[in-house]
Each structure stands twice: as structure tokens, then as C-alpha cells.
């Protein structure tokens, strides 16, 4: 079930190159990646998991509410990360010129299905 949802998000987003369902411990539950010019998208997700743990902890310390979404833009890629549970998140990587809004929408739309499948 996870693989179909992730594939749908990537294929439904112009410029989508990969999506991963991952725990904050950096262990992937499922992923769907297209070949991406020598870039290890799985390793990127693992490293971002470490950063997300710190952002999540900071939001809790500052009492600003539960982290829901983080976006990262680099010279080559855009990454949208959506929190699913206290333990898991989903991340979508797009080419820099990809449709960020569509990717973000699909992540929000499919978040409930991913949460349900995790339960």
C-alpha cells in the first residue's frame, strides 16, 4: 500500500523524483525513487531525518505547536516534508523547477491514507 501511495505522489507531481516514508530514526519504511543523476535520494532523506528531529524538538521546547511541514530548497532540488505521526514523516523530492504546490497538495491529501496504513 505504501509503495502505491508514494509512487502516486511522485508520478502525480511534475518534476517529482522521489518520495520516502521514514521514521525520525532515519529508517525508511518504503520509498519510490526515479534515477536522479548520481544523487542518492535515500541518503539525503536519512540526513534530513536528523535535522527534522532537531526542528521537532525545538518546536516543542518553544511551545509553538507540533511541527507539521518543512520545506527545503537547494540549487538542484526542492524537498517537502510532512509529519504523519510522532514517529514518522513523508518526504517528497522534486527537481528545482518542479511543481512545488502540486507536490505539497498531494502530500497533504495522502497523509491520512499513510497514517491509516501505519496504524
Global pTM value: 0.92
Placement of cell 519510490 in the chain = 32
**CA dist., res. 86 & res. 102, Å (int):** 25
Per-residue pLDDT band at 43 (split at 50, 70, 90): confident
The pLDDT, as a whole number, for residue 30 is 94
| Residue of 29, 31, 39 lying closest to 85 (CA atoms) | 29
pLDDT at 36 over 80: no
DSSP code per residue over 75-99: SSEEEEEEE-SSSEEEEEEEETTS-
Q: Name the percent of the chain lying above pLDDT 90.
A: 70
pLDDT at 50 over 90: no
Q: Dihedral through CA 105, CA 111, CA 112, CA 113, nearest 10?
A: 100
List of domains in the chain: 2-118 (3.30.450.30)
**CA dist., res. 27 & res. 75, Å (int):** 26
The pLDDT, as a whole number, for residue 7 is 96
Amino acid at each position: 500500500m505504501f509503495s502505491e501511495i508514494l509512487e502516486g505522489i511522485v508520478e502525480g507531481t511534475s518534476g517529482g523524483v522521489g518520495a520516502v516514508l521514514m521514521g525520525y530514526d532515519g529508517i525508511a519504511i518504503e520509498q519510490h525513487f526515479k534515477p536522479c543523476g548520481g544523487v542518492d535520494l535515500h541518503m539525503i532523506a536519512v540526513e534530513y531525518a536528523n535535522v527534522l528531529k532537531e526542528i521537532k524538538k525545538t518546536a516543542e521546547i518553544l511551545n509553538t505547536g507540533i511541527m507539521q511541514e518543512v520545506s527545503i530548497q537547494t540549487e538542484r532540488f526542492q524537498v517537502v516534508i510532512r509529519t504523519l505521526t510522532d514517529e514518522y514523516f513523508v518526504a517528497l523530492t522534486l527537481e528545482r523547477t518542479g511543481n512545488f504546490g502540486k507536490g505539497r497538495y498531494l502530500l497533504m491529501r495522502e497523509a491520512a491514507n499513510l497514517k491509516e496504513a501505519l496504524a
